[in-house]
Amino acid sequence: MNNQVEISIVSPVYRAETIIDNLVDRIVTAVSKLTDNYEIILVEDCGPDKSWAKIQENCSKNSKVKGVKLSRNYGQQHAIQAGLDISTGEYIITMDCDLQDQPEEIEKLLSKSKEGYEIVVASRKNRQDDFFKMFLSRVFYSTLGYLTETKQDRSVANFVCYQRKAVLAMAEVKDHNRYYPMLQQLVGFNYAKVSIEHAEREDGSSSYSFGKRMRLAMDTILTFSDKPLRLTVKFGVLLSFLSICAALTMVILYVFSDVEAEGWASLALLISFFSGIIISVLGMVGLYVGRTFESVKQRPTYIIHKTLN
């Protein structure tokens, strides 16, 4: 008899104390229509509220609910990684805990995956986010796409159905910084999109601030692309070319006209400008060296404090 779980649902939890009961109830209702052989993995990312207590309550009521508490706040992507590593399902579905990803849409993703697609992502129609969040999202994905030289889709987030082989392939990628939309492109496999309805947030506001998004973008860019380094090289070549042109112009003017260079203001400005460029380039190289240093240390990307069920 095959005892493997058919469907695993992984949801990273952070500041979701008032949502968890409804989240679990809706997942159970939606998935029970598809199979009785499933598990729900809630990964609590050491938030400041009582989310873990709510997870404990649900685990005590339903043995199919598994709770994972991380030792500190590692971030959403590492919480997803912890859930994926623990999951045992043939199909693994990741989703945010705020119920903007609606559990009732799981059936669409699973049905598409069974057609032979190892990775099926949910494309959100009519996003229910405010203007500021939509604007930040546009800036984030545009910057990320340009600097990583990849195509980024703003309608896609963490609502994804993976077949087991795709999860195992992503686990083989040992990057210290994780960003699953990029890892999906990196490992390849058959990839499909399913259009879903995006719901309003069940309660509260998003904890993903502009600063967190920019840090995620910077970590992802430094992990998956060397384009910033190539841009600094191009910029340096351009400055050198312009400097040569300026020097030739000054020599020609000095020989063939009565133009004289007066004062040191322009020289001081040039020195300040090029000093800033040099420091910026060294800083960019330093960031890459720092990321290499983090990878060499091979520290765990997350540590589990407690588990339930």
Q: So what's the pLDDT on residue 120? A: 87
Q: So what's the pLDDT on residue 41? A: 92
> pLDDT band for position 260 (50/70/90)?
low
Q: So what's the pLDDT on residue 42? A: 93
Architecture in CATH for domain 7-131+151-204:
Alpha-Beta Complex (3.90)
Q: So what's the pLDDT on residue 92? A: 92
Q: So what's the pLDDT on residue 237? A: 73
Residue 264 has pLDDT above 90, yes or no: no
Mean pLDDT, the chain, integer: 79
Burial of 34 (0-12, 13-18, 19+ CB in 10 A): middle
DSSP labels for 95-113?
Answer: --SSSSS-GGGHHHHHHHH
Residues 129-177 pLDDT 10s = 656 666 766 777 777 777 777 777 666 778 889 989 888 888 887 777 7
The pLDDT of 238-265, averaged and rounded, is 68
Q: What residues does each domain of the chain span?
A: 7-131+151-204, 227-297
Nearest to 11 by CA among 63, 86, 71: 86
Q: So what's the pLDDT on residue 10? A: 92
> pLDDT band for position 297 (50/70/90)?
low
Q: So what's the pLDDT on residue 210? A: 62
The Cα–Cα gap between 50 and 89 comes to 28
Residues 31-78 pLDDT 10s = 888 888 999 999 998 888 888 989 998 999 989 999 999 988 888 888
Q: For residue 19, count other CB atoms closer than 10 A to its CB.
A: 19
The Cα–Cα gap between 268 and 290 comes to 32
Residue 1 has pLDDT above 50, yes or no: no
Of the two residues 51 and 294, the one the predictor is more confident about is 51
